[in-house]
Structure 1
Amino acid sequence: MKQAKVLTEKELKKVIDYIDAFDKHAHRNKVIVLLTHYCGMRVSEVASLLVSDVVNDEGEVNDVIHLTANQTKGSDSRRVFVSKKAKTALKQYLQSDLSVIQRVYLFNTQNSKRFNTNALTQLVKRLYERVGIVGASSHSGRRTFITKLATSGVSVRVIAEAVGHSSIATTQRYIDVNDELIGNAVELV
C-alpha cells in the first residue's frame, strides 16, 4: 500500500492559502489541517477532540492535550504537545467563532453535528485535491510531521513518543527518506 505524500512547506502554504481565500469554513478547516501537520495528530484524533481537551478553565489553549484511549488508535491514552504554531491557529479559530467554546466537540460540521472520522478524512483529502497535490491524504500531515522531526535530527524514540507509537519500527516506516535527510546524515562524518 502506497504511503501518503509528505508535503513541502510550499505545498502546505498553498493549501492554507486556498483555505483562507476560498473556504467558507476557513478557520475551522485550517486548524484541522494544521493539527495534523503541527502536532502529528491522526484525523480520527482531531475528529474526537473535545473543547475541554483543548481549552482550560481560564479559556486558554492547553500546552498539552490529553487524549483518552477512546480518542486514540489502539487502547492507550496519549499526550499531544501543542506547538506554538498550533496554539496560534487554535486561538484564531476560537476567536473566529465564540460559540465554539460552548460546544462539546471542537469541530462540528455545517449542520452543527460532530465530525466523524470518515467525513473529516474526506474533507482533508478534498482540500489537498483542490490545490492539485497528488498523493496527499488525511495521513499526509502526520507523515510530514514525523519526517520533519527526523530531518531535524530528533531521535526516533522521541518522535515515537510524540506521535503515540509504541514501537519505533512503526515510526520509522512513516519517515520519508529524502535528499535533505541523506545530506544531513553524510555531513555528520
Structure 2
Amino acid sequence: MTPSLFDAQIRWISWLKDQKRCSARTLEAYAHALRYYFDHLSTSLRTDLTLEDVVTVSSGDIRGWMAHLRGKDEPLSARSLAQHLSAIKSFHSFLDLHFDMPNAQVALMRGPRLKATLPRPLTQDQTLGLLHENQMDSDRDDWENARDEAVYMLLYGLGLRISEALSLQVKDAPLGDTLRIVGKGNKMRALPVLAAVRDAIEAYRAQQPFTLQPEDKLFRAKRGGELSPRHVQASVQHLRSRLGLSDRATPHALRHSFATHLLGSGADLRSIQELLGHVSLSTTQKYTQVDTEKLLSAYAAAHPKG
C-alpha cells in the first residue's frame, strides 16, 4: 500500500535514525531541508502536494528549488546547499528502496562543488600555552579553571568532540584505563586514557561544589546547570585573545591537534581513524596533508631560495 506523503516522511526519519544511525543534528537538518523542499514544490506546482507529485519531480524542478535557495535574502552556502540536496536524494533513495518508487533524474543530480578544507590544528606550544593560560585565569573560581582544563584535556588528550566530552556522566568518573565513547552514528569506540587526562578530571571533581547524582552530567556551569558547548567555545575564545592566537584556536582545533601531533609522532592512520571515530579513512587522511604542509613550510624556512 502506498503511504501518504506525511507517512513516508515519518518512515524516512525513522529509517535514518534506526538503520543509518544518523545523529540527532543530522536528523533535524534533513527534516528541515525536506519540509522546505515540499513547501517549494507545493508553491511551484500550485497544488496540495502528494507523494505521487514528489516521486515524479524532474531535474528541472530540483534545479528550480536549488536556484530558489541561492536567491534567498540570506542565500545558503555551497556546503548548506549540498546538505539540502543530500537530504532530498536520501528521501528519494528511501522511496525507491522501500516502495519501488525510483526517480533516476534526482539520483543523478549533482550538488555544488565544495572547496576542500583541511583541519586547522594548533602547534604543541600553542596548545600548552592555552592550557597554562587557563590555569592562570584569576577572573573565575579555581574549580571553574579546573573544570575547563579537564574538558580541554579530553579534547586534546583523547581527541573527543565537545559533545562527547560534555556527555560524560558523574558515574563515568574516576576514569579507568579506557573510556568508551558513543560518537557520531552511535558508533562506539574505546579510548586509552592518559594519566594527565585522568588527573585533570580528578582535580575538577575534588573542587566542584555541587551535589550530583550518578546520572547527572559531570561538567557543570557556574550556577550548577549542565555545561554547554557554547561556554567551552567562549572560554577558548577568551584565552586565545589573551594569548594573541588566531581565530583558528577553537575547541575543535584541540581535537585536530590531537590527531596531527599523533601523526607527527609516528602513529599510523588506521589507529588515528579508530581513535577519532571516523567512518571513512579518507576523512582521517586529511591530516597527512596538514603534516606535509608543515614539513614543506619548515623546509622552505630552513632553505630559502636565492
Task: Give the TM-score, by structure 2 length.
Answer: 0.51
State the shift of 1:9 in Å: 2.4
What's the RMSD between the two structures over aligned residues? 2.6
For structure 1, the residue ranges without an aligned partner over 5 or more in a row are 184-189
What is the aligned partner in structure 2 of residue 83 from structure 1?
Answer: 194
SS at match of 1:67: strand
2:277 aligned partner: 164
Matching residue of 1:50: 169
The runs of 5 or more residues in structure 2 that have no matched partner are: 1-114, 300-306
Over residues 61-102 of structure 1, what are the superposed CA-to-partner deviations in whole Å (9 max), with x where a residue is unaligned?
22222223xxx2223122232112211212222222364765
Relative contact order (C-alpha < 8 Å, sep 6+): which is higher? 1
Identical columns (%): 25
Aligned length: 175
Is residue 111 from structure 1 mapped to residue 223 from structure 2 by the alignment?
Answer: yes
- Whether the 8 Å contact between 1:19 and 1:26 is mirrored in structure 2 is yes
- Secondary structure of 2:185 counterpart: coil
Deviations 1:124-176 (A, max 9, x none): 33333332210211211111000111111111001111111121111112452
Query: Secondary structure, in 3 states, of the residue corresponding to 1:139?
Result: helix
Larger Rg: 2
What letter corresponds to residue 157 of structure 1 in structure 2?
R
Letter of the 1:150 partner, please give it: L
Asked if 1:40 is matched to 2:159, the reply is yes
Matches within 5 A, 1:167-186: 167-175=280-288, 176-177=290-291, 178-179=294-295
CA distance in 2, matches of 1:3, 1:52: 36
The answer (yes or no) to whether the contact 1:40–1:142 under 8 Å persists in 2 is yes
Cα 1:128–1:114 change in 2 (3 A) is same
TM-superposition CA deviations, 1:50-71 (whole Å, max 9, x none) = 1222x2xxxx422222223xxx
Contact 1:4 1:136 in 2 (8 A): no
Partner SS, residue 22 of structure 1:
coil
Q: 1:133 and 1:100, CA in 2 relative to 1: closer, same or farther beyond 3 A?
A: farther
Report how far residue 14 of structure 1 moved: 1.7
1:4–1:139: 8 Å Cα contact kept in structure 2?
A: no
What is the rounded CA distance, in whole Å, between the counterparts of 2:132 and 2:121 in structure 1? 18
18-27 vs 1-10, greater mean Cα deviation: 1-10
Counterpart residue number, 2:59: none
Does 2:271 correspond to 1:155? no
| TM-score after normalising by structure 1 | 0.80
